[in-house]
Amino acid sequence: MANKIPAVPFRPLSQQNLQDPTLALLNENLRMLTEQVNYLSGAYGKVTLPAGSGLDAGGNQIKNVATPTEGNDAVTLAHANGTFASIAALNSSSSYLGVQATSRPEAFVDGYYTTGNTVPTPQSPIDGYQYQRSEVSYLLLHYSTLSPVGGFVPGLLTFPTLAPNAGSGSILSTPYELRIGLSFEANPGVIVVNNYYSISGSVAEGTIFVVALGFRGQSVG
């Protein structure tokens, strides 16, 4: 059990105190000083500093600190170097990052596209791995029956300005067709999105948002 260091009051001696045959006050002062030394030396157990106080080493080193075992323990230089150096090495290890990337699919936000645009294959920001078309699966989100205006740049992350409908009559089905060319098809990565009109039939138009999922070493698309 920890012992709190007691305060030692100043109790001056008078000539009358010294004439006391028992030297009671002198002995009491000596007792308090002895206890104080025992507290500070640890003879009474672990020392607990009083609330509001502290320990100032005055720029000197504190030696022979034990290895920390609890949350509030002091950390030695050897323990810090061993712990944090190993964590830094692990986080900077390309093999570790590779395990992270290959143990689960990587998601890539590709942005907005329209019919006829080609979605590129993604590159991992973790280690620069370039995915093959067959390793990528795409999530196609139909955002509008309208296509972007001329000059549209595929892959924008902000919603584009839209052109008027290109078909005649009422839209009977939207999207009538929505797909992306697979790796083994004639136009891999090319977006196809159509509306079906009551008069003009199938018309290539629409705006979609694309999210890609990369699966290293797996044929998914």
Give the model confidence (pLDDT) of 63-109 as tens digits: 777 777 776 777 676 766 666 555 555 445 544 455 555 567 899 99
pLDDT, the chain, mean: 81
Q: What CA–CA distances, in Å, run from 78 to 60, 61, 74, 75? A: 18, 14, 12, 8
Give the model confidence (pLDDT) of 123-165 as tens digits: 999 889 999 999 999 999 999 999 999 899 999 999 999 999 9
* Whole-number Å distance between alpha carbons of 7 and 63: 27
Report the pLDDT averaged over residues 171-186. Answer: 92
* Whole-number Å distance between alpha carbons of 145 and 207: 7
Model confidence at 221: pLDDT above 90: no
Q: Could you tell me which residues come within 8 angstroms of residue 6 by beta carbon, excluding any fewer than 6 positions away?
A: 32, 35, 36, 39
From the list 164, 105, 111, the residue with the least C-alpha distance to 140 is 111
Percent above pLDDT 70 for the chain: 77
Determine the pLDDT at residue 90: 47
Burial class (CB in 10 A: 0-12, 13-18, 19+), 55: exposed
Tell which wins on pLDDT, 195 or 12.
195
Determine the pLDDT at residue 65: 77
Tell which wins on pLDDT, 129 or 60.
129
* Contact indicator for 198, 170 with CB cutoff of 8 Å: yes
Rg of the chain in Å (alpha carbons): 39
Determine the pLDDT at residue 1: 46
Report domain extents, the chain. Answer: 1-50, 105-214
Percent above pLDDT 90 for the chain: 45
The gap from C-alpha 211 to its chain's centroid, in whole angstroms, comes to 22
Determine the pLDDT at residue 79: 63
Coil, helix or strand for 220? coil
Model confidence at 26: pLDDT above 50: yes
The beta strands (E) that lie in 69-184 are given as: 106-114, 136-144, 171-180
Determine the pLDDT at residue 64: 79
